[in-house]
A and B are shown apart, each in its own frame.
Chain A
Amino acid sequence: MAFSLRKTPIDAEALHYICRKNALVEVKRTAPHGLGSHVMDGFFARYRNALVLIAVLVVFTIGLAVQVRRPDYGSREDGKHVRVFRYWAVALVSPFERLFRATGQGIRGIWHNYIDLRDVRRQNEQLKNDLNRMRLYQAAMAEDARQGQRLQALLEFKQQYIAKTVAAQVIGTSGSEQSRVLYIDKGIADGLKPDMAVITPDGIVGKLRDVFQHSAQVLLISDTTSGAGVVLETTRIRGVLRGTTDGRLRILDVLPDSRIKPGEPVLTSGGDQVFPRGLKAGVVESIGQDRNYALVTVKPTANLARLEEVLVVMEKGAVAPEQVAATENEPETGARGEHLPQLEPETPDEAVKNAKEAPLPRPTPAVRQDTYSPGATPSAATLTPGARHDNAAPAPSTEAGGDQH
């Protein structure tokens, strides 16, 4: 008997009951019925498990067939009915994710702010020194930025820029390698819409796919269904950045070019109408060849595996110089706005006026005049070939405080 193999020993009395019950079952099974119903009952009873499995598989297959009629399924927003189902799943999971995140943040905060304070004094001194250096650097950069704005306005340069962002916290992932998506704690209530770009100060992250009331699904650029128009910074070669099965990034449809080198920065081209132009996407990691095309593998500049906070680009677009000047002065929102230095406030009219009336670059006056100083050389029209001219600038001389020989 098979029962002898059991861990729990069964005595003879138990075996007797089991055999009797089996016999009763057998009698019931062979009781007289109509022939047709008997056969059908037997069939369904015998294959009941398999039939249930087949029914479930058929339902799923039909469901898949209905859903995949939409092209680019993975990268596009879901239809209304499917989104309702996803909404309920996210509503079920995201409160716990928020709770865990808040708890973890609290514990980390207590540890970092009250307990783990070793070397803080030394770091503080170092940071003060760094801050002083950065202030000087910032002043120089602000001057360069103002000059850049003026020149852009003069050239009527049109650019896409990030007008408004919203900072969001990452609260969860898809939990599967099949799809690389994240969930953030902002949604429709915060003004988010599908296809908005998601970035960090380090580089692009992805775009919004499904947006719910208080959360949203971010499709990472490393997903296989994702895509971003990019351009290599130095060679200006354009391509489409796509994710691979193993979560890496690859630029597609690029012809082999010996100028492409590892380490070359990859920027967004703006051609996908999702990401503003000129944002960092990654750096070229390696170059291979697949048939007629180059296999350019890119390492993302944003750490896609460990994202805590992201910025959702709410507004962007090609703008006229006047708008550039006007909006450049609006403070950034979110985390970036808190950390980036802002330019001096300037009204739009003043900015345009300044841009139009900006003088041509003039050399600064020389501290010590010599033959090379601006204005020291006479006009070419007054010169005679071979003649000696006396109004040349005097030889450098030292003034008070200089060395006397």
Chain B
Amino acid sequence: MAALGRMYSSRREMDEHVFHPAISLLVPLVAVFAGAYLPKLAPWLMILDLPLVVVIFFAVARRSPISGVMTGALVGVLQDLLLNQPIGINGMVKAVVGYVAASISLRVDVDALATRVVMNFSFCLLQSLMLLVIYQWLLRDANVQTRWLHELLRAGVNTVVAIPLFFLLDYAKQRA
């Protein structure tokens, strides 16, 4: 009954986790750095979106939509700063992903393996869809075309990477 060392008012509070500030800061930074560096070693690794995986993890672990929005927005902006595109595209998308992920985590047991698989796969596709909407409808960029087969592959690869990463990051969780 270690979880009952303090009193929880709801299941939500019991499932909420916090992280050491160093973890909260370093993990997103390392994800952005690895995303920028790994494709130099192996170009096919460009398909990975580690910042997205990290946003999903922190959102569902903290189970706070506001925290999810803020984490997603900050990580997305950091990612945008390394691109040659207007700042805020990834910020918007990842803020929405963080919000939805945290909202879902309030209703579903997101620690189960199957849930994590479905969740990561779905959020990768959701991100692709939102990027398409932003580029084509908000920015009116006619050059952008989404290759859905490629997006499915990307979602699959990111899910495969996300599962062991989630288990690894589980060790950094602390009860709220």
Most buried by B among A2, A57, A73, A104: A57
Contact digits for A1-28, partner B, Cβ 8 Å, 1 yes 0 no = 0110110101100100110011001000
Cross-chain contact A73 with B85 (CB below 8 angstroms): yes
With an 8 A cutoff between CB atoms, is A48 at the interface? yes
Closest-CB distance, B170 to chain A (whole angstroms): 13
Cross-chain contact A67 with B103 (CB below 8 angstroms): no
Contact of B147 among A25, A57, A224, A245 (CB under 8 A): A245
Interface of A, helix, strand, loop or mixed by DSSP? helix
Contact of A63 among B49, B82, B88, B103 (CB under 8 A): B88
Kindly state the separation between the CA atoms of A68 and B32 in the bound complex, as whole angstroms: 24
> Which stretch (B2-10, B16-24, B118-126, B159-167) binds chain A?
B2-10
Cross-chain contact A179 with B36 (CB below 8 angstroms): no
Cross-chain contact A61 with B46 (CB below 8 angstroms): no
> Which stretch (A36-44, A86-94, A326-334) binds chain B?
A86-94
| Chain B neighbourhood of A89, CB < 8 A | 78, 81-82
Residue of A nearest to B76 (CB): A60
Interface of B, helix, strand, loop or mixed by DSSP? helix
- Other contacts beyond A244-B143, A245-B145: 9, CB < 8 A: A22-B10, A49-B69, A52-B69, A173-B39, A174-B84, A175-B32, A219-B84, A245-B146, A246-B150
| Chain A neighbourhood of B145, CB < 8 A | 245
Cross-chain contact A17 with B7 (CB below 8 angstroms): yes
Closest-CB distance, A217 to chain B (whole angstroms): 7
Cross-chain contact B10 with A18 (CB below 8 angstroms): yes
Closest-CB distance, A261 to chain B (whole angstroms): 27
Cross-chain contact B92 with A60 (CB below 8 angstroms): yes
A60-B95 CB under 8 A given contacts A11-B1, A73-B85, A93-B32: yes
Kindly state the separation between the CA atoms of A90 and B89 in the bound complex, as whole angstroms: 18
Q: Could you tell me which residues of chain B, from 121 to 172, have a CB within 8 Å of some CB in chain A? A: 131, 138-139, 141, 143-147, 150
Kindly state the separation between the CA atoms of A210 and B85 in the bound complex, as whole angstroms: 12
With an 8 A cutoff between CB atoms, is B96 at the interface? yes
Kindly state the separation between the CA atoms of A90 and B32 in the bound complex, as whole angstroms: 11
Cross-chain contact B69 with A53 (CB below 8 angstroms): yes
Residue of B nearest to A303 (CB): B43
With an 8 A cutoff between CB atoms, is B58 at the interface? no
Contact of B86 among A56, A64, A176 (CB under 8 A): A64
With an 8 A cutoff between CB atoms, is B104 at the interface? no
Kindly state the separation between the CA atoms of A130 and B49 in the bound complex, as whole angstroms: 46
A residues sitting closer than 8 Å to B (CB atoms) are: 2-3, 5-6, 8, 10-11, 14, 17-18, 21-22, 25, 48-50, 52-53, 56-57, 60-61, 63-64, 67-68, 73-75, 82, 85-86, 88-90, 92-93, 96-97, 100, 104, 170-179, 181, 183, 209-210, 217, 219, 223-225, 244-246, 305-306
Closest-CB distance, B115 to chain A (whole angstroms): 13
| Chain B neighbourhood of A3, CB < 8 A | 11
Closest-CB distance, A17 to chain B (whole angstroms): 5
Kindly state the separation between the CA atoms of A17 and B9 in the bound complex, as whole angstroms: 8
Most buried by B among A52, A175, A179: A175
Contact digits for B71-95, partner A, Cβ 8 Å, 1 yes 0 no = 0010000110111111111111001
Cross-chain contact B36 with A173 (CB below 8 angstroms): yes
A68-B86 CB under 8 A given contacts A6-B11, A18-B7, A57-B96: yes
| Chain A neighbourhood of B40, CB < 8 A | 170-173
| Chain B neighbourhood of A17, CB < 8 A | 7
Number of contacting residues on B, CB 8 A? 57
Kindly state the separation between the CA atoms of A289 and B82 in the bound complex, as whole angstroms: 35
Cross-chain contact B66 with A52 (CB below 8 angstroms): yes
Residue of B nearest to A86 (CB): B81
Cross-chain contact A61 with B138 (CB below 8 angstroms): yes
A64-B89 CB under 8 A given contacts A2-B11, A223-B84, A305-B43: yes
Closest-CB distance, A16 to chain B (whole angstroms): 10
Kindly state the separation between the CA atoms of A335 and B72 in the bound complex, as whole angstroms: 42
Cross-chain contact A21 with B139 (CB below 8 angstroms): no
Kindly state the separation between the CA atoms of A179 and B70 in the bound complex, as whole angstroms: 24
Cross-chain contact B69 with A56 (CB below 8 angstroms): yes
Residue of A nearest to B102 (CB): A49
Kindly state the separation between the CA atoms of A172 and B32 in the bound complex, as whole angstroms: 11
Residue of A nearest to B154 (CB): A177
With an 8 A cutoff between CB atoms, is B27 at the interface? no
Contact of B131 among A11, A22, A88, A178 (CB under 8 A): A178
| Chain A neighbourhood of B96, CB < 8 A | 53, 57
Residue of B nearest to A88 (CB): B81
| Chain A neighbourhood of B86, CB < 8 A | 63-64, 67-68, 73
Residue of A nearest to B111 (CB): A7
| Chain A neighbourhood of B36, CB < 8 A | 93, 97, 172-175, 183
| Chain A neighbourhood of B81, CB < 8 A | 85-86, 88-90
